[in-house]
Amino acid sequence: MIMFINKNLLGTGTEEQRGMIDLHSHILPNLDDGAKDLIESMAMAKLATENGITAIAATPHHKNGRYNNEKNSIEAAVKALNANIQTIYMKGLAHLLKITWKTGISRRSNEDK
């Protein structure tokens, strides 16, 4: 799970939307059936913040028979997205990135089926 947390956005969005967390997003560019490129990722992040979302968990597909995203490609996509978010759409906003990589998740979920 990859989290982009922007603590300065708590005052945006409607009262009901403030502090909302998106726990499932394909925001990382060029990794799966989500954002096609960095520009689309940036637009998704901007739209999310405008609607009061303060955290996004990027959840790219991995080893599902169609996409094989390795840790280094996911980390590179996160780094590129965060760098561009900081410099283009959301200048000066603080963010915290946490990357957690769990091996064997897909194997365990297949065993449960």
Q: What is the full per-residue pLDDT of the chain (113 aa) written as tens digits?
A: 444 545 454 445 555 556 677 878 888 898 888 899 989 998 888 888 788 777 777 888 776 677 788 888 888 888 888 888 766 554 433 344 444 555 555 444 444 44
Q: At 96, which amino acid appears?
A: L
CA dist 41 and 81 (Å) reads 7
Domain count, the chain: 1
The CATH number linked to 36 is 3.20.20.140
Burial 100-111, CB ≥16 within 10 A → b, else e: eeeeeeeeeeee
Count the helices and strands in the chain (H runs, E runs): 3, 4
pTM of the model: 0.63
User: Which of 84, 26, 101 is CA-nearest to residue 56?
Assistant: 26
How much is the pLDDT for 11?
A: 46
| Alpha helices, DSSP H, located in the chain | 38-50, 71-84, 105-111
How much is the pLDDT for 113?
A: 44
Apex 75 CA angle, 1 and 20, nearest 5: 40
Which residue range is the domain that position 84 belongs to? 2-111
